[in-house]
């Protein structure tokens, strides 16, 4: 009799543990690279067809005012994973395979989404492009990911180890053809879902698409009206569809949060892409560099439709922590906010009073509600990817014909009402001097906290090299 009672109790405990595990949602972040606001058909693209991402948008929340914290790769990734501005987490410029960046990586003290979820008994896997340093201490498995499968950073053949696929710290495939990576990564994610379907998992899948090289697989060449770039976007869509279909087939879709977004705007100066109605693109602090396509779905739990709330990729860490039942540390500033209520209801106001637009370590714009003020700057203030020694300061009021690199040099503050002018075309600073004055005061305050050119902020983590804005 006692044996039967004991067995009954054990069964109840096991059942409760299994139920508890399943109550925590699985989480998948699909992070596209250099995908512009206007590159998907659900965001108005006419020359590409993205039915799978469109379906994700139809079944989830599609955001029209979702921002990242940088318009280049590495800082944007660091901000998403830590919930903190790049100036605060110590990763303000893109990491390169150069001598001065040899010790540059995501600091060991920084806490990532994976760190938070690992403490909540999640299985954690990073796949794809890391680009946050690859010395020991800076790798994915040093930052909360139990496993990593992917490349150190961007795919290149000019560096001998940048076309090698790693599993954890070891190379498992050498000299990999670029076109094979997107399918390989998707396969790995689907395998991991199957292996961990009885416990909560977190997959951070950072695709190389649609970053250069613009090399879609041969079966996708010629499938779009948008040249090779459009074909490349459609290939990304195909593999997103494979992954979401696998969730359905494995009966995991009702307990999995799927987040799709891009790391920054399109590289319109180099490889194409579209920012849609927005001005500028990658490398700029215009909306085309920071405002990105973003879709979040949790079947039956989150609202559906289109949401216009001003949100940030930094909001993901505190939001996912809340949904997983995790507590955040109180020893640091988390710039992101918990947006669970907005996701569940599809309604609400932005949790951010101000947002700051840095290009490298240069504060270039501030936003509050619909208002955005671009701050004066010189070409010398810019990071290496935006410098132009012969650039004359822009002193006009209409930005309709501004170049793809945005406002490299600016002689005076420019104010835009994004509610009526999301393309940042018409300066209205003379009509609203009180807003300009408020924002200039806020710029002085935040410089003291986060830093700027020739200013070290009180809560700025400074990278381990000098001349931060320079390549050499």
Q: Which tokens sit at 50? A: 């993205």
Selecting among 73, 107, 143, 404, the annotated active-site residue is 73
Judging by DSSP bridges, how do beta strands 147-151 and 123-129 pair with one another? parallel
**Cis ω before 67 (30° cut-off from 0):** no
CA atoms within 13 A on the CB side of 470: 7
Catalytic site residue from 107, 131, 352, 374: 131
Q: Reply yes or no: is the peptide bond before residue 462 cis, omega within 30 of 0.
A: no
Instruction: Judge whether 372 and 407 are in contact, CB under 8 Å.
Output: no
The secondary structure of the chain in percent helix, strand, coil, rounded to multiples of 5, reads 35, 15, 50
Question: Phi/psi of residue 375, each to 5°?
Answer: -95, 150
Element (H, E) at 433: helix 433-450
Q: CB 437: neighbour CB atoms within 10 A?
A: 11
- Alpha carbon distance 365, 259 (integer Å): 27
- How many whole angstroms from its chain centre is CA 202? 16
Rounded-to-integer distance, Cα 438 and Cα 442, Å: 6
Active site residue 404: no
CB 391 within 8 A of CB 374: no
* Separation of alpha carbons 7 and 425, rounded Å: 71
Token pair, residue 11, equals 């069964």
CA distance 336 to 73: 19
Residue environment code for 236-256, b if the CB has 16+ CB neighbours within 10 A, otherwise e: bbbbbbebbebbeeeebbebb
Q: Cβ contacts of residue 28 below 8 Å, gap of 6+? A: 189, 202, 203, 205, 243, 247, 256, 257, 258, 259
Burial of 277 per CB tally in 10 Å (0-12, 13-18, 19+) = middle
- Active site residue ranges: 73, 131
């Amino acid at each position: 009799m006692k044996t039967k009672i004991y067995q009954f109790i054990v069964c109840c405990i096991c059942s409760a543990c299994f139920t508890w595990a399943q109550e925590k949602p699985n989480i998948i972040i699909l992070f596209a690279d250099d995908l512009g606001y206007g590159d998907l058909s659900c965001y108005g693209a006419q020359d590409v067809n993205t039915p799978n991402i469109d379906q994700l948008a139809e079944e989830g929340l599609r955001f029209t005012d979702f921002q990242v914290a940088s318009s280049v790769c590495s800082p944007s990734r660091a901000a998403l994973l830590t919930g903190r501005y790049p100036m605060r987490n110590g990763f303000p410029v893109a990491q390169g395979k150069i001598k001065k960046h040899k010790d540059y990586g995501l600091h060991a003290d920084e806490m990532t989404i994976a760190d938070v979820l690992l403490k909540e008994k999640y299985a954690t896997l990073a796949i794809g492009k890391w680009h946050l340093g690859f010395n020991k201490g800076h790798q994915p498995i040093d930052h909360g990911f139990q496993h990593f499968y992917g490349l150190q950073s961007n795919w290149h053949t000019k560096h001998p180890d940048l076309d090698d696929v790693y599993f954890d710290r070891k190379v498992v495939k050498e000299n990999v053809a670029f076109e094979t990576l997107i399918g390989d990564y998707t396969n790995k994610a689907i395998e991991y879902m199957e292996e961990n379907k009885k416990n909560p998992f977190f997959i951070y899948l950072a695709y190389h698409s649609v970053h250069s090289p613009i090399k879609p697989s041969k079966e996708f060449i010629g499938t779009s009206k948008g040249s090779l770039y459009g074909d490349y976007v459609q290939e990304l869509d195909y593999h997103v569809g494979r992954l979401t279909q696998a969730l359905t087939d494995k009966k995991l879709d009702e307990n999995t949060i799927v987040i799709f977004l891009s790391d920054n705007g399109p590289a319109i100066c180099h490889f194409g892409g579209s920012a849609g109605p927005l001005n500028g693109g990658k490398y700029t602090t215009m909306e085309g560099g920071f405002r990105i396509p973003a879709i979040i779905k949790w079947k039956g739990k989150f609202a559906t439709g289109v949401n216009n709330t001003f949100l940030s990729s930094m909001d993901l860490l505190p939001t996912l922590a809340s949904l997983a039942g995790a507590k955040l540390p109180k020893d640091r500033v988390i710039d992101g906010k918990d947006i669970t209520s907005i996701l569940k209801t599809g309604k609400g106001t932005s949790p951010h009073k101000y947002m700051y637009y840095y290009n490298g370590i240069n504060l270039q714009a501030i936003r509050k509600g619909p208002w955005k003020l671009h701050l004066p700057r010189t070409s010398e203030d810019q990071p290496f990817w935006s410098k132009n020694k012969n650039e004359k300061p822009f002193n006009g009021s209409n930005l309709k014909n501004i170049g793809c690199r945005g406002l490299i040099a600016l002689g005076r503050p420019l104010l835009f009402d994004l509610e009526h002018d999301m393309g940042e075309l018409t300066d209205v600073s003379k009509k609203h001097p009180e807003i300009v004055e408020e924002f200039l005061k806020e710029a002085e305050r935040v410089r003291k906290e986060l830093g700027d050119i020739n200013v070290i902020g009180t809560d700025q983590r400074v990278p381990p090299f000098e001349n931060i804005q320079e390549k050499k």
